[in-house]
Structure 1
Amino acid sequence: MTSSMDSLRAVVFDMDGTLVDNMVFHNQAWVALARKLGLSMTAEDFQNHHAGKKNEEILPVLLGRPLLHDELNQLAEEKENHYRTLYRPHLRLHHGAESFINRLREARIPTAIATAAPQGNRELVLDGLGIRPLFTRVVGAEEVTRGKPWPDIFLAAAKALDVEPSACLAFEDAILGVRSARDAGMPVVGVTTTTSAEQLREAGAQWIVPDFTSLPPELEARLFRAP
């Protein structure tokens, strides 16, 4: 079992809602699609029950039936195009993220992104902000069979970094994402962009922060202390 003072040797970030505060635009796009399909869904419903899953997992649940490949792709792309149109004018890193990532790089701490976001959404954020080179590895939903809350994507990120999951610190904003990282064996920081501190703690987050401008002293020590 990992001691509370063991060193953390890598950091794995969720992207949407964590590195960028964009979930309100995702939620708006999902609610708009649901209404077009004659379904009733609120932004809170999506955030609490679906955020972190892959589109091919979300859409059959919403519609209550299996979808053929072409229909699934068409609906998913309609939603993602709407989201990108809504979010593009607001594209920016979350408060303190750039400084924190640079501190990790200076300390030679490897970093990864573990995200269910499809390729077009990753390109919007990572290439639109020019931050892709700052990360050791980007792990996308297509690299795992199951999305969050299954631990697969965080386990894949730890493997890509060649670091035991218990030595990877995860940052997540969503209930399902926190559960995913927790079940992968990672200590988790919950970021309150979209979800309350109480809900994140209940899901398994050990620490809660509003952004990256300051971390709890214990985490500072475990990440940046001298070897």
Structure 2
Amino acid sequence: MALPALLHAAIFDMDGTLVDNMRFHSEAWVSLSRRLGIDATAERFEREFAGKKNEEILPVLLGRAVAPEELAQLAEEKETHYRKLYGPHLGLMRGAEAFISRLRSAGHRLAVATAAPPGNRTLVLDGLGIRSLFSRVVGAEEVVRGKPAPDIFLTAARHLEVAPSACVVFEDAVNGILAARSAGMFAVGITTTTPPEVLREAGAHWVAADFATLPPELEARLFGNTSRAVGGR
């Protein structure tokens, strides 16, 4: 894929990207698994399940089909526990506020595309007062398939009225990078949960620890020059 002169839209994953919260999700999943008598690790959830919908995760975790009522009950148990764990630690990823402000000032269209259920989106987006910064928030309920399928990112691009090839996606998980690449978009791996070499192997065009240390090459694609590269890199 040839790099365009400029990108025109940015799509953000939420968990592990806009906020550094994945360890709290993993803790809640491990707690639920143990209650159900399943031996599961935090690493498995971060590696295998990040970006997927609860209705995709639970049948795999349990090794059987799950009736809708049971699925809803188990998902709510896990998400309620997660929100209790993470709520006191709520905060934006380093550099995110300034970066989003620069994108908006430059006229870029912005969206959030996340598998997080509505209650979790409310906690983060409304709890931090940032929902209004995005033209569109796309949730898992709007698509049939979760990541690594491209559906959620393609839906976001459609709502933003921007071609996929002019979009850059910010993601922390391998499934999210795979989804972005499958959608024909550019991908930035944020290394909160996954090593940079793993994100690159999945197809990330760029990697960064946070939004204060984005590569100059990405800055050039977004803002037309590297003179204001965040973090001075």
TM-score calculated relative to the size of structure 2: 0.95
Q: Report the 3-state secondary structure (helix = DSSP H, G, I; strand = E; otherwise coil) of the residue aligned with 1:95.
A: coil
Q: Which amino acid aligns with 2:146?
A: G
Which amino acid is the alignment partner of residue 36 of structure 1?
A: R
Report the equivalent of 2:32.
33
Point out where structure 1 has 5 or more consecutive residues left out of the alignment: none
Structure 1 distance, partners of 2:5, 2:37, is: 51
AA in 2 matched with 1:171: F
Shift of the alpha carbon at 1:84? Answer: 0.1
The Cα RMSD (Å) is 0.9
Cα deviation digits, residues 111-143 of structure 1 (max 9, x gap): 000100000000000000000000010000000
1:202 corresponds to? 201
Distance 1:206 1:168 in 2: 12
Secondary structure, in 3 states, of the residue corresponding to 2:113? strand
Is 1:157 paired with 2:153?
Answer: no
| Distance apart, 1:5 and its partner CA | 4.2
- Partner of 2:119 in structure 1? 120
Q: CA deviation at 1:219?
A: 1.2
Task: Give, in angstroms, the shift of residue 94 of structure 1.
Answer: 0.3
Letter in 1 for 2:124: V
Give the distance between the partners of 1:16 and 1:144, measured in 2 at CA.
Answer: 18
Match of 2:56?
Answer: 57
1:214, distance to aligned residue in structure 2 (A): 2.8
Amino acid at match of 1:112: A
Partner of 1:87: 86
Partner of 1:130: 129
Letter in 2 for 1:105: R
Q: 1:110 maps to which residue?
A: 109
Query: Do the aligned partners of 2:164 and 2:184 also contact (CA within 8 Å) in 1?
Result: yes
**1:157-183 CA-partner distances (Å, limit 9, x unpaired):** 111111011110100000111101110
Question: What amino acid is the match of 1:208?
Answer: V
Task: List gaps (5 residues or longer) in structure 2.
Answer: 226-233
Comparing 62-71 and 114-123, the one that deviates more = 62-71
| AA at the equivalent of 1:9 | H
Is structure 2 residue 68 aligned with structure 1 residue 69?
A: yes
| Structure 1 letter corresponding to 2:78 | K
- What do residues 87-128 of structure 1 show as CA deviations (whole Å, max 9, x unaligned)? 000000000000000001111111000100000000000000
Distance 1:34 1:101 in 2: 36
Tell me, in whole angstroms, the C-alpha distance in 1 between the residues paired with 2:5 and 2:142: 30
Q: Is the 8 A contact 2:4 2:166 kept in 1?
A: no
Q: After TM superposition, give the deviation of residue 4 of structure 1 in Å.
A: 2.1
* Structure-2 separation of matches of 1:156 and 1:21: 24
The one-letter code of the counterpart of 2:144 is T
Give 2:173's aligned amino acid. A
Q: Give, as a single letter, the amino acid of the residue that structure 1 aligns with 2:66.
A: L
User: Secondary structure of 1:130's match?
Assistant: coil
More divergent stretch after superposition (4-13 vs 19-28):
4-13
Query: In percent, how many aligned pairs have the same letter?
Result: 66
Q: What SS does the corresponding residue of 2:60 show, helix, strand or coil?
A: helix
Instruction: Tell me the SS of whatever aligns to 2:214.
Output: coil
